[in-house]
Structure 1
């Protein structure tokens, strides 16, 4: 049983996805990912990684349809959890713990726009989770790696997801959709 305050934050949307297929999504997100990943005076990131994670996390490529969390009014393309006083929405998710999947109710950030979701994700990769481990994801920076494959092979995203098949899925999405074309 949830307290009333938490019930009011439960996810609820029946907005139709604006994307007809994965290619529509890639065409839409790729210019934003390139822009955000190559901001001046910031560590350069891999657009292919951002796009693949957004595809995977938002569920835009799944037959069952896009995640409600990824749709307006939440705009959370990366499954970023909320902290402190950040605007959030509660939704069920699964975590892989002790060799099994368990369902948990978690608070995920709400963003006013998709671009702000991309910006928050880039900030996470550039500056860490804000819990004292600055530069936790420095293994995702272009300056520290030769390509996106090295990020995946050497654990640059360690701790991002509990799903043991996560990195295999990201690699498959990058390959299937030739996303490295955006890393130039």
Structure 2
């Protein structure tokens, strides 16, 4: 069976596309819009860091677990941490500005916090406040890293603030990027 949304080939026994999560089989509710995932699917259950224990399985089989469709749709693919650091140094910090902005936006998406400050606005506020907003940004980034990892009592927020204050914000970005990479299963 071919998915009408993404064109991926799927076994005939599946109800949802194994690539994007779109419903493949119409049930008796013909008038309803197709669902984005299995019944009971909620990206807020469990977390994107690999703790899928709270997600429902397709056909009741854990082998048929589907990736949350919001990761691929958001365009989050991960990036090499070493390359990002090298490019930040070689470009005298210009790449680091891009990395700061994109990392902020990606962690907002992974935590389902799109309403929070965007990367561009966070960067501008950091400049306008002479770096003081950067401390708040580091705190919020630590919270988002804890949420993505599923660690409710972790203290990445404090670690990130300390790193930001002593001028090692790039280390906080590298830790956050590692978390994003694991969440999207970047190799």
TM-score, length-scaled by structure 1: 0.28
The structure richer in helix per residue is 2
The structure richer in strand per residue is 1
TM-score, length-scaled by structure 2: 0.28
Report 1 or 2 for greater relative contact order, CA contacts < 8 Å, sequence distance ≥ 6: 1
CA radius of gyration, larger in: 2
